[in-house]
Amino acid sequence: MAGDGSVKLIDEKTGKRTDGRKFNELRPTKIEVGVLNNADGSALIYMGNNKILAAVYGPRELHPKHLALPDRALVQCYYRMSTFSVAERKSPAPSRREREISKVISDALNSVILTKDFPRTTIDIYIQVLQADGGTRCASLTAACTALADAGIPMRGIISGVATGLVNDTVVLDLHDIEDQKGSGDIPIGYSATLDEISLLQLDGVFTIKQFEEAVKLAIEGAKQIYEIQKKALREKYALIRAEFAGESEEEEAEEEDTIEIVSQSLAESEASVDETAIDEVESEELEEKKTEEFSEVEEVSEVEEVSEVEEQDLVSDIAKELNDELDDEKELEEDITSLETGEPEKNNEAITDDSSESVENETEHKEIDDLEE
Ligand code: UDP
């Protein structure tokens, strides 16, 4: 709510404002994109002492379903000030002001989002003011639109928000809290530099037409500068993604090269081991053959030895047989001679007796032969 403009907020000599800015100077502004992992798109804006976070989800299914629009997506914005965002604790319950700001931001974004591409869906934009210092609706609009771009939501253009106001009868750009409270009027504007369209325009206080035109012109200049900051933030994010992708590709290439090297090394090793195995196999085969030959030789020798043993035994038994035969012949001859000389059976007995004495001798001879055989 604008004041009566009685508080001196611009130095008459220097023309500088309470924070040292010139009338057409923006507060130091910085935007970070993709700050939330769990949102489809996000942006954090620092505009002077304002710190505002915007998160985008969607297009996604809408609940309750009866709210769904048959021909386009519903854009729903939720602007909330944190209880700790202002000097005096703010109630966590959504205020009328918060609902109003949510609506004007939704309407502004609705004008650039290609909602007809996503019928029956919702695109939800959550805006959380972490620290407030005047001009939060404009900074929120800038953050929200940047988050939508980060989410990849198709849009006709990017909206940049900034307010101009009347301070000590001077039109100034980008009001901070004290100027917003004590100045005589403010005009928050949402402007798309690419479309040259104003999608949000509010007015609080009283402006002459000249002042109004001057204020709008100044706001457009400021919005164009903010648009450059938005583009820079988005480009930085995508440059990072590209760098990461390139890094990953390089890593992948390096990994592929390593894999190829490892595979070729292992191939070479396996080839070498195959050669060695082949050599070993050949050697072992040769060894086996050698062993078999030696073994067969040993077997042959043992067979020969066995044969010679058998032959020796046969020879001994032949000799013994021959000796026995000779003895038997001798004995028969002697018996015949004795029976021819005596013609008596006693003689036969004597002969028998003699024979028995001789048979003792024969037995001794037999025994000797047996020993020999053994
Ligand atoms: N403000 C506050 N408490 C509130 C609402 C607003 O202190 O509950 C402050 C806050 O710093 C805000 C400023 O008042 O930026 C002006 O609020 P306004 O409604 O004009 O919206 P804004 O200028 O932030 O877009």
41 lines ligand 1 (CB under 6 A): no
Using a pLDDT cut of 90, give the percent of the chain over it: 61
DSSP states along 111-177? TTB-GGGSTTEEEEEEEEEEE--S-HHHHHHHHHHHHHHHHT--BS--EEEEEEEEETTEEEES--H
Give the Å distance between the CA of 176 and the centre of ligand 1: 10
d(Cα 30, Cα 174) in Å, to the nearest integer?
14
178 lines ligand 1 (CB under 6 A): no
Q: Which of 50, 97, 180 to mutate to test the pocket of ligand 1 (most atoms within 8 A of CB)?
A: 180
Q: Which atom of ligand 1 is nearest to the CA of 175?
A: 23
124 lines ligand 1 (CB under 6 A): no
pLDDT at residue 34 is higher than 90: yes
3 lines ligand 1 (CB under 6 A): no
40-54, 153-167, 288-302: least confidently modelled range: 288-302
Give the Å distance between the CA of 136 and the centre of ligand 1: 7
| 3-state secondary structure (DSSP) of residue 270 | helix
Give the amino acid at 103. K
Q: pLDDT tier at 351 (50, 70, 90 boundaries)?
A: very low
pLDDT at residue 110 is higher than 90: yes
177 lines ligand 1 (CB under 6 A): yes
165 lines ligand 1 (CB under 6 A): no
pLDDT tens-digit series, residues 202-249 = 999 999 999 999 999 999 999 999 999 999 999 998 888 888 888 877
Give the Å distance between the CA of 191 and the centre of ligand 1: 21
* pLDDT number for residue 215: 98
| Across 8-13, average pLDDT | 92
132 lines ligand 1 (CB under 6 A): yes
> Six-digit token pair at 373?
């055989």
Q: Which atom of ligand 1 is nearest to the CA of 140?
A: 25
| Across 262-266, average pLDDT | 76
d(Cα 29, Cα 25) in Å, to the nearest integer?
11
More confident of the two residues 327 and 103: 103
d(Cα 23, Cα 274) in Å, to the nearest integer?
85
pLDDT tens-digit series, residues 307-326 = 556 666 777 677 777 777 87
Q: Which atom of ligand 1 is nearest to the CA of 139?
A: 25
225: which DSSP letter? H
* pLDDT number for residue 349: 43
Q: Which atom of ligand 1 is nearest to the CA of 91?
A: 8
| Across 176-201, average pLDDT | 97
195 lines ligand 1 (CB under 6 A): no
d(Cα 365, Cα 357) in Å, to the nearest integer?
13
* pLDDT number for residue 31: 98
Give the Å distance between the CA of 350 and the centre of ligand 1: 167
pLDDT tens-digit series, residues 113-153 = 999 999 999 999 999 999 999 999 999 999 999 999 999 99
CA 262 → CA 247, 271, 351, distances in Å?
22, 14, 109
Give the Å distance between the CA of 44 and the centre of ligand 1: 18
* pLDDT number for residue 331: 78
Domain 29-249 has CATH 3.30.230.70: yes
pLDDT at residue 374 is higher than 60: no
pLDDT tens-digit series, residues 75-96 = 999 999 999 999 999 999 999 9
* pLDDT number for residue 211: 97
| Across 251-266, average pLDDT | 78
More confident of the two residues 341 and 258: 258
Give the Å distance between the CA of 67 and the centre of ligand 1: 31
Q: For all residues of the chain together, what is the average pLDDT?
A: 85
pLDDT at residue 47 is higher than 50: yes
What's the chain look like in SS3? CCCCCCCCCECCCCCCECCCCCCCCCCCEEEEECCCCCCCEEEEEEECCEEEEEEEEEEEECCCHHHCCCCCCEEEEEEEECCCCCCCCCCCCCCHHHHHHHHHHHHHHHCCECHHHCCCEEEEEEEEEEECCCCHHHHHHHHHHHHHHHHCCCECCCEEEEEEEEECCEEEECCCHHHHHHCCEEEEEEEECCCCEEEEECCEECCCHHHHHHHHHHHHHHHHHHHHHHHHHHHHHHHHHHHHHHHHHHHHHHHHHHHHHHHHHHHHHHHHHHHHHHHHHHHHHHHHHHHHHHHHHHHHHHHHHHHHHHHHHHHHHHHHHHHHHHHHHHHHHHHHHHHHHHCCHHHHHHHHHHHHHHHHHHHHHHHHHHHHHC
Could you give the angle at the alpha carbon of 309 between the alpha carbons of 305 and 315, nearest 5°? 140
d(Cα 107, Cα 97) in Å, to the nearest integer?
15
Give the Å distance between the CA of 134 and the centre of ligand 1: 6
26 lines ligand 1 (CB under 6 A): no
* pLDDT number for residue 350: 44
**Residue nearest atom 1 of ligand 1, based on CA coordinates:** 86
> Six-digit token pair at 151?
């989410």
> pTM of this prediction?
0.70
230 lines ligand 1 (CB under 6 A): no
174 lines ligand 1 (CB under 6 A): no
Give the Å distance between the CA of 70 and the centre of ligand 1: 36
Give the Å distance between the CA of 213 and the centre of ligand 1: 24
Give the Å distance between the CA of 354 and the centre of ligand 1: 163
